[in-house]
C-alpha cells in the first residue's frame, strides 16, 4: 500500500499546483477551458503519434493483439455498466449523467498503470501497457465520446470519430504500415532520416506536457469542489462502480481472451482496477459536462484506490 501511495504522490502534487492556480486566481475559467482545448488538439495527439509510431511495428501489432483487445474490452465493459447505471440517475442533471457514463467507460489506462507495473513486473510490462493503450484510445474516442455527448446516428458518430487524437492514431498506423518504405528511402537520403527523427522527437517533447497539463486542469476544478459534491449518491455510485463492480466484471470478461498468465494477464489486470481517468475533467471542460463532479470523482477515486488497488492485487495474486 505504501508503494502505491508513493507512486501516485507525484500526480497529486501536480494536481495541487492546479488547485493553487485557482485559489490564487492566476488564471480564470475561460483560460482553463482554453488549456483543455490545447490539451486535446495539440498535446494529447502529439503524445499518441510519438508513442505509437516509435514503439510498434506490424509484427508487434500482430503478435500481441490481445493487449489492445483486452484494454478495449475493459472500457467496453465500463460503457455497458454505465449505460445500465444511468437508469438510476434520471433525476440528475444531464451534464452529470454524461460525465458519469464517461467515467464508467474510461479509467486511467496508461499513466498510473505504467508506474505500477514498472515496479511490479519490469520494463517489458511498461511496453505492454503502452501497447494496450491502443485499444483503450479507440474506445475512448468512440464509446467514450458517445457517452459524453449522447449523440446518435451515423453522422454524429462519424464526427466524433474524426477527433484530433483519432487523426493522430490513424497517422501513427499509417507510419507503421509505411515504415519499410520509409526506411528504404531514409537509407538513400540522410536528410529524410534526419527530418523524420526530428519530427518524432518534436512530437514526443510536446506530448510530454499531456500528463502535467491534464493534472493542472484537474486541480483547478478541484478548487471549486464543495462537501456536497464529495458525498452525493452519484459519487458513491461512481466509487463503487469504477473501483469494484466494473473491475470485477472486466476481469471476468478478460478470462475469455487467450492471456498469458505470466505476461499479458497481470498487465491487463492492473489496468482493469484503475480509478477514473484524470482526463475526464478536461473532457468535461471541452464538452460542457459537469466539471465539478468530474473533478470530485477524480479526487475520491484516486484517494480510494490507495486501498482498493493493493487489495485487488492481493486478491488476484
pLDDT reading at 168 higher than 70: yes
Rounded average pLDDT over 51-72: 82
Task: Kindly state the helix (H) or strand (E) to which residue 181 belongs, with its residue range.
Answer: helix 164-188
Q: Which of 116, 53, 160, 89 is nearest to 310 (CA)?
A: 116
- Quote the pTM value: 0.78
Strands (E), 22-132: none
Q: Name the residue with higher pLDDT: 67 or 157.
A: 67
Q: Do the Cβ atoms of 247 and 312 come closer than 8 Å? A: yes
Tell me the C-alpha distance between 293 and 100, whole Å.
8
- How long a stretch of residues is the chain? 317
Q: Which of 100-109, 209-218, 260-269 has the highest mean pLDDT?
A: 100-109
Give the three-state DSSP class for 263: coil
Most distant pair of Cα atoms in the chain: their distance:
65
Distance CA 226, CA 301 (A): 16
| Mean pLDDT estimate for the chain | 83
**For the chain, domain boundaries:** 2-311
Give the Cα separation of 287 and 225 in Å (integer). 19
Q: What is the pLDDT of residue 27?
A: 84
Q: Which residues contact 296 (CB under 8 A, 6 or more apart)?
A: 222, 225, 229, 230, 235
Instruction: Give CA–CA dist 184/212, Å, rounded.
Output: 37
pLDDT at residue number 159: 66
pLDDT in tens, 117-161: 767 777 677 778 878 888 898 888 888 988 888 755 556 656 666
Q: What is the pLDDT of residues 84-124, one digit of tens each?
A: 999 999 889 999 999 999 999 999 887 778 777 767 777 67
Dig out the grid coordinates for 126 from the structure.
511498461
> For the residues of 66-98, what is the DSSP string, one character each?
HHHHHHHHHHHHHHHHHHHHGGG-TTS-HHHHH
Position with higher pLDDT, 270 vs 173: 270
Other C-beta atoms within 10 Å of 243: how many? 24
Report whether CATH 1.20.1530.20 matches the domain 2-311. Answer: yes
Amino acid at each position: 500500500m505504501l508503494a502505491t501511495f508513493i507512486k501516485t504522490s507525484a500526480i497529486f502534487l501536480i494536481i495541487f499546483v492546479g488547485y493553487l492556480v485557482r485559489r490564487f486566481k492566476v488564471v480564470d475559467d475561460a483560460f482553463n477551458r482554453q488549456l483543455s482545448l490545447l490539451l486535446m488538439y495539440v498535446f494529447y495527439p502529439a503524445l499518441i503519434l510519438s508513442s505509437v509510431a516509435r514503439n510498434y511495428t506490424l509484427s508487434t501489432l500482430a503478435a500481441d493483439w490481445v493487449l489492445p483487445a483486452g484494454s478495449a474490452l475493459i472500457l467496453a465493459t465500463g460503457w455497458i455498466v454505465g449505460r445500465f447505471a444511468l437508469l438510476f440517475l434520471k433525476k440528475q442533471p444531464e451534464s452529470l449523467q454524461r460525465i458519469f457514463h464517461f467515467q464508467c467507460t474510461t479509467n486511467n489506462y496508461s499513466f498510473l498503470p505504467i508506474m505500477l507495473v514498472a515496479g511490479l513486473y519490469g520494463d517489458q510490462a511498461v511496453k505492454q501497457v503502452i501497447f494496450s493503450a491502443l485499444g483503450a484510445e479507440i474506445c475512448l474516442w468512440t464509446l467514450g465520446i458517445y457517452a459524453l455527448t449522447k449523440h446518435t446516428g451515423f453522422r454524429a458518430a462519424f464526427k466524433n470519430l474524426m477527433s484530433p487524437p483519432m487523426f493522430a492514431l490513424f497517422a501513427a498506423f499509417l507510419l507503421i504500415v509505411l515504415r519499410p518504405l520509409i526506411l528504404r528511402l531514409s537509407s538513400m537520403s540522410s536528410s529524410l532520416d534526419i527530418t523524420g527523427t526530428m519530427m518524432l522527437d518534436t512530437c514526443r517533447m510536446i506530448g510530454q506536457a499531456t500528463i502535467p497539463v491534464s493534472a493542472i486542469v484537474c486541480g483547478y476544478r478541484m478548487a471549486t469542489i464543495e462537501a456536497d459534491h464529495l458525498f452525493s449518491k452519484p459519487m458513491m455510485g461512481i466509487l463503487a462502480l469504477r473501483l469494484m463492480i466494473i473491475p470485477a466484471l472486466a476481469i471476468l470478461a478478460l478470462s475469455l481472451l487467450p492471456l498469458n498468465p505470466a505476461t499479458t494477464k497481470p498487465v491487463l489486470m492492473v489496468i482493469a482496477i484503475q480509478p477514473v481517468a484524470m482526463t475526464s475533467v478536461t473532457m468535461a471542460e471541452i464538452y460542457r459536462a459537469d466539471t465539478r463532479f468530474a473533478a470530485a470523482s477524480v479526487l475520491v477515486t484516486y484517494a480510494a484506490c490507495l486501498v482498493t488497488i493493493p487489495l485487488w492485487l492481493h486478491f488476484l495474486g
